[in-house]
Amino acid sequence: MSDLDLRKLRYFLVVAEELNYGRAADRLHIAQPVLSRQIAALEGELGATLFERSSRGTRLTETGVALVADARVLLAGAAALQRRARTAGRQGPHVTIGFMPGLIITAVVRDLVERFPGLTVDVQRTGWDTQVDLLLDGTIDASFVRLPVPRRGLRVSEIAREQRVVVLPVGHALLECADITLADLTAELLLQDPEAVPEWRDAVLEVRPHALSLERIGLPSFDSVEEKLEYVAAGRGIVILPASTAAFYTRGDIAIRPISDLAPGTIGLAVPADRSTPVLTALEEIAQRLSASVVSESADTRSA
């Protein structure tokens, strides 16, 4: 029990609430096989079966039912402990703000500090898989996130929208097209979680229903944008990114193009739903007022 993984407990709670691995995976923005492995690993750590799966669906075992209440208490206590530990010994008020790659929060932080003299603000870069987890476990106090994210336990305000682009290897045939649409990209392998681009996922399911499961077998688990772009440059697949993120990672062996029928992505500010402080309230107001400054200038998406 001393090595119990809190992330697995969070995954367990979502499955317990949904009683459906597919819906739970959608909420968590992870692949269903990954979720199944994490639950199996948790059951191995505990030495107990938590769910029973049959043709009639998924249900909690007696052990699983008992674990639900304990897990909620444990996760809430861990979050409170981390918040106390991070602020212990600090002189004056302190807040840690997360942000996704490509976002610039300098102006927001500057305005917040001017409003609260003596406030210490730390910033932390997050990733697709961690932007919510770090909030829920108390590592950060607020975060600029890229939607969609699971909103349970969070207060999320939408602050800006941003064009999304496809990143292709130099020399790709689609670079000759005047316009690139989602339909043009359904034959490509997406080197990221399809849940991050549900419009692409739905377009692929219409024309290649089995592609999302069969073609992704053996696909590496990527921890960073840089890793994905290495595979793009090698011709192994594509990624669809916010324009500011793609511009940040511009390199000579890839090309950035807009997707003509893909709606802009949404940027939000997320804070734990159970936390309301003058600093967080001010942060939410400042983020709305300075929303344009959060999205950096993107690269010319018509250039190779």
Question: Mind listing the domains of the chain with CATH numbers?
Answer: 6-84 (1.10.10.10), 92-160+265-294 (3.40.190.10), 164-258 (3.40.190.10)
**90-111 tens-digit pLDDT:** 556 889 999 998 899 999 999 9
**202-230 tens-digit pLDDT:** 999 888 877 776 666 667 767 678 889 99
Q: Report pLDDT for 114.
A: 96
How far is Cα 281 from Cα 284, in angstroms, rounded to an integer? 5
Kindly state the tokens that stand for 60. Answer: 């909690």
Q: Is the pLDDT of residue 28 over 50?
A: yes
Q: Rounded to 5 degrees, what are φ and ψ at 241?
A: -130, 160
The secondary structure of residue 145, as a DSSP letter, is E
CB-CB neighbours of 149 under 10 Å: 20
Q: pTM higher than 0.75 for the full model?
A: no
How far is Cα 202 from Cα 34, in angstroms, rounded to an integer? 20
3-state secondary structure of 129: coil
Q: Report pLDDT for 254.
A: 96
250 half-sphere exposure, CB direction, 13 A CA radius: 14
Q: Rounded to 5 degrees, what are φ and ψ at 165?
A: -130, 160
How far is Cα 294 from Cα 274, in angstroms, rounded to an integer? 25
